[in-house]
């Protein structure tokens, strides 16, 4: 196990190296000049020159890359050109916000998706089944920005129940935090719910037609016990895996939702930084995101190996 | 038990005090950059500074310069020295006094700090002399008439020397100025919190305890917030939402005509792309100007709320040249000009338009109008940062561009029309125009300066390197509970005198 682990950890080094090169190169392909964007409305040539010098934008790209990597290796992701705050601090401030949003969204997606999926399978070809299918289709095909704005008009402007936008930290006011994130979490979870519903329905239909369910029914068990205890438990294993994958999707899906609801998370940070050509922030955020994905992948691999020792070779 | 009771009573009292606090929540269209008057560069940042950092001078509704931290100013006969008397008894948020030494420090910081965005604005300044504890003298390299107007904006903002020396280029993370509100905290992209400064020089006119600025990018969401009571004031309301705001009894709309303008840069000499019938012939450009119905454009896209224009200042500005009124549409004359120019119509023109709902609508209306005289504008919607780079490199033929405007007309004309100036994207060079632009910087007397600008206006309207279209209104929506709000043409949200009912 130790050998496997050290081998995988060693493989991380070239992977992260390539990721860093790709991030840096792709960013250079962004049209527009960061110094020109930073120089304000006046765009005075002297100021532009000063910015280029200060942030080493006047150096060749490989040199800029070396400086960046050197910083990253010593734990310094650089500093935002726009607001002069350490990228590390920005990441530490924004990541928990997006994680909170994604977790709430996945809870919403799982609760709605699984419930609707099970109901659709059990009452196949009934009104309930059609209703659940229409719901899934609607969830998948409704644009998030439209749904977001409609929810704001309904729950904030008309009913006055929820704040229209903004974010409250759970440490400041727990219920206030839930109120400020429930609409964006629903918008985000809605798409996932639709996908999960379709998968749950399929898996449940398979399970309900399987031999062990027939046996359970033959034993004279109550239908409720057959559905919930026998069929659902087996059907849900792949659905939960899908849910975990959806979580990754949600982290990136948060980009648009955070923008609509002015949630100061990772998504909003990256969008604003790209538009302001705040290179250090873009690089830092993308690198952190990539590292998180790679580490999650590694954890999944280790978990597989723990379950199935044949993979250790 | 006694302790518990006492604690409960104390908490209740505290709760009561907190409830009585008034907070003004302001929705901004963007997240500002760093809150350091020397290093800041965004328009939205200036809105936040309005509560945080007072300036030597301010402007009123009619664009007159009025005193703020200064009491008066006097320019020497040769125009090379400006003596400024400071208001006595003014303190910074850290308790340090605002005296002549502090004012000298602030101005020299704007002038000399590496990366200062103020340097070009006050480049004429050579040094600052301390005359007495409340008087400074600004010694200039050359006479520069827009100087006092510059001091009504960030260049005139005073910072605490003690705090600025300690923080260096991180001063903007916790700014210490002499405005009505002091900085409490900032969560990037989320909020900026300010609280009433108890030692403010004009504290009797400050009636609101806290101000919270919240950046909310989407205009519809900003409006929803002010409608639902989540915010008390929002800036940059869309012209198409004006009706909605006016019909809501809980809201009020405050407007002022902007200092800036909207126009089209035409590439007349910036690289190879200038070589086309529009870029090569002033007559064709004049024809395009005549083909555009500015009134109709304003009606169609902005419900008639904005003001058509043809100069770098609006028809309401003291420097507007009445001898060159905004032209009416004249297709026959436009076609005649095209004929005179000897161009074969129709021909295509690459029209770069920065992304945005309103800009695209404007571009489409102009496209339809221009097509009638045989100019086929090919709209190319481009993300803003990219469009700037391409404009600078001359990779365009026509470019729809806005300018937020400056108090002094020099700020709207010099860097655009002077040959090879930072924003001379059209690549326009005219010796006589350059001479007039420089002359207007030296003359201080309004009628004399206006006469210089009149000559310049004629040249620009003949050559048309930039085609001026219209002037927006600054649109602010706020709750009807907010009392005493007055909108100034610079678009900033001034907080002195405001009350929440």
pLDDT in tens, A69-108: 888 888 888 888 888 888 999 989 888 898 899 889 988 9
Per-residue pLDDT tens digits for A139-155: 878 888 888 888 988 89
Is the distance from CB of B52 to CB of B185 less than 8 angstroms? no
- Scanning every residue of chain A, which has its alpha carbon at the shortest distance from the alpha carbon of B388? A32
Kindly tell me if the per-residue pLDDT of B23 is higher than 80: yes
Mean per-residue pLDDT, B334-349:
93
Per-residue pLDDT tens digits for A33-43: 777 777 766 67
Say how far apart CA B269 and CA B253 lie, in whole Å.
Answer: 43
CB contact under 8 A, B385 and A32: yes
Token code pair at residue B376? 């086929």
Per-residue pLDDT tens digits for B432-467: 999 999 999 999 888 999 999 999 999 999 999 999
With beta carbons under 8 A apart, name residues in chain B contacting A50: 114-115
Say how far apart CA B211 and CA A50 lie, in whole Å.
Answer: 34
Kindly tell me if the per-residue pLDDT of B6 is higher than 80: no
Q: What is the distance in angstroms between the Cα of A65 and the nearest Cα belonging to chain B? A: 23
Kindly tell me if the per-residue pLDDT of B42 is higher than 70: yes
Per-residue pLDDT tens digits for B382-435: 988 788 889 989 999 999 999 989 989 999 999 999 998 888 999 999 999 999
Q: What ipTM was assigned to the predicted interfaces of this complex? A: 0.72
Per-residue pLDDT tens digits for B244-264: 999 999 999 999 999 999 999
pLDDT of residue B2: 45
Kindly tell me if the per-residue pLDDT of B49 is higher than 90: yes
Say how far apart CA A47 and CA A36 lie, in whole Å.
Answer: 9
Number of Cβ atoms within 10 Å of the Cβ of A168 = 17
CA distances from B71 to B65, B153, B161 (A): 11, 16, 21
Kindly tell me if the per-residue pLDDT of B331 is higher than 90: yes
Q: Does B120 touch chain A (CB under 8 A)?
A: yes
pLDDT of residue A310: 57
List all residues 6 or more positions away from B247 whose beta carbon is below 8 Å from its beta carbon. Answer: none
DSSP assignment letter at A227: I
Say how far apart CA A64 and CA A57 lie, in whole Å.
Answer: 7
Q: Does B168 touch chain A (CB under 8 A)?
A: no
CB contact under 8 A, B422 and A40: no
Kindly tell me if the per-residue pLDDT of B8 is higher than 50: no
Confidence of residue A240 (pLDDT cuts 50, 70, 90): low
CB contact under 8 A, A164 and B34: no
- In a 10 Å sphere around its CB, with 0-12 CB exposed, 13-18 middle and 19+ buried, how is residue A125 labelled? exposed
- Scanning every residue of chain B, which has its alpha carbon at the shortest distance from the alpha carbon of A40? B41
Q: Which of A29, A42, A269 to mutate to test the interface with B (most CBs of B within 10 A)?
A: A42
Kindly tell me if the per-residue pLDDT of A134 is higher than 90: no
Q: Dump the DSSP string for B269-333.
A: SSSGGG-SHHHH-HHHHHHHHHH--HHHHHHHHHTT-SEE-SSSS-TTSTT--TTSPPPPP-HHH
**Which of B169, B191, B415 is closest, CB to CB, to A42?**
B415
Number of Cβ atoms within 10 Å of the Cβ of A311 = 11
With beta carbons under 8 A apart, name residues in chain A contacting B28: none
pLDDT of residue B5: 44
Q: Does B403 touch chain A (CB under 8 A)?
A: yes
Q: Does B115 touch chain A (CB under 8 A)?
A: yes
Kindly tell me if the per-residue pLDDT of A124 is higher than 60: yes
CB contact under 8 A, A41 and B404: yes
Mean per-residue pLDDT, B40-52:
92
Per-residue pLDDT tens digits for A255-285: 888 888 888 888 888 888 888 888 888 888 8
Mean per-residue pLDDT, B41-68:
93
Per-residue pLDDT tens digits for B142-188: 999 999 999 999 999 999 999 999 999 899 999 999 999 999 999 88
Average pLDDT across chain B, whole number: 92
Mean per-residue pLDDT, A216-228:
80
- Scanning every residue of chain A, which has its alpha carbon at the shortest distance from the alpha carbon of B218? A260
Say how far apart CA B137 and CA B144 lie, in whole Å.
Answer: 14
Per-residue pLDDT tens digits for A5-53: 888 888 888 888 888 888 888 877 777 777 777 776 667 787 788 888 8
- Scanning every residue of chain A, which has its alpha carbon at the shortest distance from the alpha carbon of B114? A50
Kindly tell me if the per-residue pLDDT of B16 is higher than 50: no
Q: What is the distance in angstroms between the Cα of B386 and the nearest Cα belonging to chain A? A: 4
User: How many beta-carbon contacts under 8 Å exist across A and B?
Assistant: 140
Q: Which of B167, B185, B190, B396 to mutate to test the interface with A (most CBs of A within 10 A)?
A: B190
CB contact under 8 A, A84 and B403: no
């Amino acid at each position: 196990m130790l050998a496997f682990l050290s081998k995988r950890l060693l493989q991380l080094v070239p992977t992260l190296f390539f990721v860093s090169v790709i991030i840096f190169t792709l960013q250079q392909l962004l049209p527009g000049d960061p110094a020109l964007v930073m120089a304000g409305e006046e765009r005075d040539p002297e100021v532009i020159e000063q910015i280029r010098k200060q942030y080493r934008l006047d150096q060749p790209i490989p040199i800029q890359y070396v400086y960046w990597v050197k910083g990253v290796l010593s734990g310094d992701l650089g500093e935002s050109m726009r607001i002069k705050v350490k990228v590390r601090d920005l990441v530490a401030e924004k990541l928990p916000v997006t994680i909170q949003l994604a977790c709430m969204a996945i809870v919403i997606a799982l609760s709605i998706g699984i419930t609707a999926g099970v109901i659709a399978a059990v009452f196949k070809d009934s009104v309930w089944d059609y209703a659940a299918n229409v719901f899934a289709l609607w969830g998948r095909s409704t644009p998030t920005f439209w749904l977001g704005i409609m929810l704001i008009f309904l729950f904030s402007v008309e009913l006055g129940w929820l704040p229209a936008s903004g974010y409250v930290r759970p440490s400041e006011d727990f219920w206030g935090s839930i109120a400020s994130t429930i609409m964006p979490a629903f918008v985000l979870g809605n798409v996932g719910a639709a996908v999960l519903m379709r998968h749950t329905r399929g898996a449940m239909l398979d399970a309900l037609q399987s031999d062990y369910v027939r046996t359970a029914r033959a034993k004279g068990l109550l239908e409720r016990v057959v559905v919930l205890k026998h069929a659902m438990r087996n059907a849900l294993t792949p659905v939960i895996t899908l849910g975990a994958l959806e979580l990754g999707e949600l982290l990136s899906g948060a980009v648009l939702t955070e923008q609509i609801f002015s949630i100061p998370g990772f998504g909003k940070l990256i969008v604003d930084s790209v538009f302001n050509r705040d290179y250090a922030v873009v690089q830092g955020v993308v690198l952190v995101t990539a590292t998180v994905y790679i580490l999650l992948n590694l954890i999944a691999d280790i978990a597989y190996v723990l379950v199935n020792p044949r993979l250790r070779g | 038990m006694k302790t518990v009771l006492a604690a409960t009573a104390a908490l209740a009292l505290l709760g009561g005090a907190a409830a009585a606090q008034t907070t003004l929540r302001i929705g901004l269209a963007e997240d500002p950059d760093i809150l350091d008057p020397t290093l800041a560069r965004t328009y939205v940042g200036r809105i936040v500074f309005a509560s945080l950092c007072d300036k030597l001078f301010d402007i009123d509704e009619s664009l007159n310069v009025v005193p703020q931290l200064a009491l008066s100013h006097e320019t020497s006969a040769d125009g090379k020295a400006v003596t400024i008397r400071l208001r006595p008894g003014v303190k910074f948020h850290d308790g340090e006094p605002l005296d002549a030494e502090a004012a000298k420090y602030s101005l020299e910081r704007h002038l000399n700090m590496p990366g200062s965005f103020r340097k070009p604005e006050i480049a004429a300044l050579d040094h600052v002399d301390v005359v007495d504890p409340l008087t400074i003298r600004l010694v200039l390299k050359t006479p520069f008439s827009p100087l006092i107007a510059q001091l009504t904006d960030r260049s005139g903002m005073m910072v605490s020397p003690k705090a600025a020396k300690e923080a260096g280029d991180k001063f903007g993370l916790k700014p210490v100025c002499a405005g009505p509100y002091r900085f409490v905290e900032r969560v990037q992209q989320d909020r900026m919190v300010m609280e009433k400064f108890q030692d403010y020089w004009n504290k009797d006119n400050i009636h609101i305890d806290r101000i919270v600025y919240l950046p909310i990018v989407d205009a519809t969401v900003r409006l929803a917030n002010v409608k639902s009571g989540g915010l008390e004031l929002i800036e940059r309301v869309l012209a198409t939402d004006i009706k909605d705001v006016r019909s809501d009894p809980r809201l009020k709309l405050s407007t002022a005509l902007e200092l800036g303008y909207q126009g089209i840069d035409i590439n007349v000499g910036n690289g190879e792309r200038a070589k086309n019938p529009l870029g090569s012939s002033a007559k064709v450009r004049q024809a395009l100007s005549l083909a555009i119905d500015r009134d109709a454009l304003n009606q169609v896209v902005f419900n008639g709320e904005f003001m058509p224009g043809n100069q770098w200042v609006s028809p309401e500005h003291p420097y507007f040249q009445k001898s060159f009124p905004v032209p009416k549409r004249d297709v026959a004359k436009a076609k005649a000009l095209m004929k005179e120019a000897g161009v074969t119509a129709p021909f295509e023109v690459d029209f770069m338009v920065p992304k945005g709902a309103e800009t695209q609508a404007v571009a489409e209306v102009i496209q339809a109008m221009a097509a009638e005289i045989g100019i086929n504008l090919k709209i190319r919607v481009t993300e803003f940062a990219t469009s700037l780079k391409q404009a600078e490199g001359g990779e365009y033929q026509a470019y729809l561009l806005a300018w937020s405007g400056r108090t002094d007309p020099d700020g709207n004309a010099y860097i655009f029309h002077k040959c090879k100036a930072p924003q001379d994207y059209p690549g326009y060079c005219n010796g006589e125009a350059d001479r007039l632009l420089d002359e207007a910087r030296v003359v201080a007397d309004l009628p004399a300066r206006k006469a210089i600008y009149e000559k310049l206006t004629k040249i620009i309207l003949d050559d048309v390197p930039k085609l001026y279209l219209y002037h927006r209104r600054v649109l602010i929506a706020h709750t009807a509970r907010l009392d005493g709000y007055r909108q100034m043409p610079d678009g900033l949200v001034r907080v002195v005198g405001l009350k929440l009912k």
